[in-house]
Amino acid sequence: MMGRKTLFGVLRYIISWSVAMTLLISSVMFAATFFHTVRLQREDNIELIARTAAYSTEAAVMFGDDQAANEILKDILNKEEICRITLYAEPQGNVFANAEKPCDSTSDAFFSGVTKRIDVKHKEEGQDGERLLGAIEIKSQDSKLYKTFLYHGILVLFFCLILAVLVARVPARWMEQRFSSELHALSGMAHAARLEGDFTRRLPSFEIAEFNGLGQDFNALFSEIQTRNAELAIRQQHLESVNRSLSSMAMCDSLTGLANRACFGEQLEIAISKARANETKVGILYIDNDHFKDINDSYGHSAGDSLLVNVGKRLSGAVRDSDLVARLGGDEFAILLTTVSGEDDLRHVSNKILAAMARKLRLAEREGVDVELGVSIGMAIFPDQANDGLSLLRAADQAMYRAKRLGRGRSCMYDPSVDAGLGG
């Protein structure tokens, strides 16, 4: 595909051709006028020669001296740019005298010479009228003159056209230099906005009124865009903050700050999908506080809330950073172990949790009152004991209920032969 033309290239082309066409038309009109003027002057000159010849040969015709007439005609032929001069005698119109030289043969009326015929008359004394003696006919030799003029005119015109094109480049260059800086500033600003998103640039005042108006419009537009972008950035930050707050509220437990049931279920499904693809295992610990209802009833809801917060902190301290601790609701917690090799890993974590819960909690609401944080833990592994997240969570829940029946403050691994049908 051909490249697009530049503005300066088009301007140089227009200026050059405008000057050349103006010069061409002017030259053609001048040449036509000059040629017509020269032809009229030539006709007048030939007529003057004819009158001179008629006057000079008047006596020779009257006395029948054709030899003298021939001499006169030859002398005129040699002095003037004519190719034939003929004297006709009246009344028969026979050739009385003639002088000629070779003429350029041409059938073109544009280059052909001028032909003039003048009567030879004699006025006698005592008579009012003139007696016709004969006629002089002259054929001019003009083709060489006209052709020379035409050829020279074409050469001069061609030279002037070349000179005009070269001269026209001067104003074109001047115009290019004058426009280029302002156009480059405009295009640079537009490119920065389109490619870099930079709307901070501003254009200075320009000398050319149209460019200056366009530049001021650009400045006003960019100022408005910059203001709107700032407003949008503030709104975006506000929305992101709100979204983070909403996400936190939607996925976090408001009391303990741990993940809630929805977040735990979502992360559990993701972990199981990865484990299924990588052929690895995922473990779950389902945890229930053994004394929550008694403490909540005896010391109030604030004491129960303090117990839940403290349990959450101790659970988080007993697991790795990569593991997920969640409060499922009430006094029920769950821990997601994303990478385990077998049941021993779950038992190791459960033992750490039981050890962490062995320390009593002193209630801030009741001075001098210490309460126990005993918990029961149920454990299950994917894919050994369940094929999906819901089944895995249910299996761990059933194992937790078996741990409560066995005396609480302990952990149990899910056993389908024993735990089937158990659960809250």
Q: In what order do the strands lie in the sheet with 411-413?
A: 324-329, 332-340, 281-289, 375-382, 411-413
Report yes or no: 384 and 346 within 8 Å, Cβ to Cβ.
no
Q: Please, what's the largest Cα pairwise distance for the chain?
A: 178
Question: 297 exposed, middle or buried (CB, 10 Å; 0-12, 13-18, 19+)?
Answer: exposed
Between 104 and 234, residue with greater pLDDT = 234
Token digits of residue 291: 């004394």
Between 357 and 212, residue with greater pLDDT = 357
Look up residue 369 and give its amino acid. V
Residue limits of CATH 3.30.450 in the chain: 7-150
pLDDT one-digit tens code per residue, 6-40? 655 666 666 667 766 777 787 778 777 777 777 77
Q: Is the pLDDT of residue 3 over 60?
A: no
Does the annotation mark 331 as catalytic? yes
Q: Is the pLDDT of residue 376 over 50?
A: yes
Of 287-291, 348-352, 392-396, least confident by mean pLDDT is 287-291
Q: Is the pLDDT of residue 126 over 60?
A: no
The torsion of the CA quartet 383, 386, 387, 389, rounded to 10 degrees, works out to: -110
pLDDT of residue 411: 93
pLDDT of residue 147: 65
Question: Distance between alpha carbon 45 and the CA centroid of its chain, in Å?
Answer: 71
Q: Is the pLDDT of residue 284 over 90?
A: yes
pLDDT of residue 1: 40
Of 110-114, 293-297, 393-397, least confident by mean pLDDT is 110-114
Q: Is the pLDDT of residue 111 over 60?
A: no
> What's the average model confidence in pLDDT over 319-332?
92
Report yes or no: 258 and 325 within 8 Å, Cβ to Cβ.
yes
pLDDT of residue 107: 44
Q: Is the pLDDT of residue 92 over 70?
A: no
CATH class, 261-419 region: alpha beta
- Of 331, 344, 388, 415, the active-site residue reads 331
Cα–Cα dist 334/379, whole Å: 10
Between 172 and 41, residue with greater pLDDT = 41
> What's the average model confidence in pLDDT over 226-239?
85
Q: Which of 63-77, 97-111, 198-212, 399-413 has the highest mean pLDDT?
A: 399-413
Q: Beta-carbon neighbour count of residue 389 at 10 Å?
A: 22
pLDDT of residue 171: 67
Q: Is the pLDDT of residue 228 over 50?
A: yes
Q: Which of 16-20, 119-123, 414-418 has the highest mean pLDDT?
A: 414-418
Cβ-count burial 88-106 (b if 16+ within 10 Å, e if not): bbbeeeeebbbbeeebeee
* Residues whose CB is less than 8 angstroms from the CB of residue 358 and which lie 6 or more positions away in sequence, other chains included: none
Q: Which of 1-5, 117-121, 397-401 has the highest mean pLDDT?
A: 397-401
User: Which pLDDT band holds residue 383 (cuts at 50, 70, 90)?
Assistant: very high
> What's the average model confidence in pLDDT over 317-327?
92
Q: Beta-carbon neighbour count of residue 289 at 10 Å?
A: 24
pLDDT of residue 379: 95
Q: Is the pLDDT of residue 108 over 60?
A: no
pLDDT one-digit tens code per residue, 179-224? 677 677 777 777 777 777 777 777 778 777 777 777 788 788 878 8
pLDDT one-digit tens code per residue, 57-83? 878 777 888 888 888 888 888 887 788
> What's the average model confidence in pLDDT over 218-245?
82
Q: Is the pLDDT of residue 397 over 60?
A: yes
Percent of the chain with pLDDT over 70: 78
Closest to 161 (Cα-Cα) out of 351, 307, 23: 23
Q: List C-alpha distances in Å: 357 to 15, 222, 259, 351, 353.
A: 95, 63, 20, 10, 6
**Mean pLDDT of the residues in the chain:** 80
Residue limits of CATH 3.30.70.270 in the chain: 261-419
CATH number of 7-150: 3.30.450
Q: Beta-carbon neighbour count of residue 152 at 10 Å?
A: 10
Question: Distance between alpha carbon 17 and the CA centroid of its chain, in Å?
Answer: 30
Token digits of residue 411: 């952990």
Of 197-201, 211-215, 238-242, 245-249, least confident by mean pLDDT is 245-249
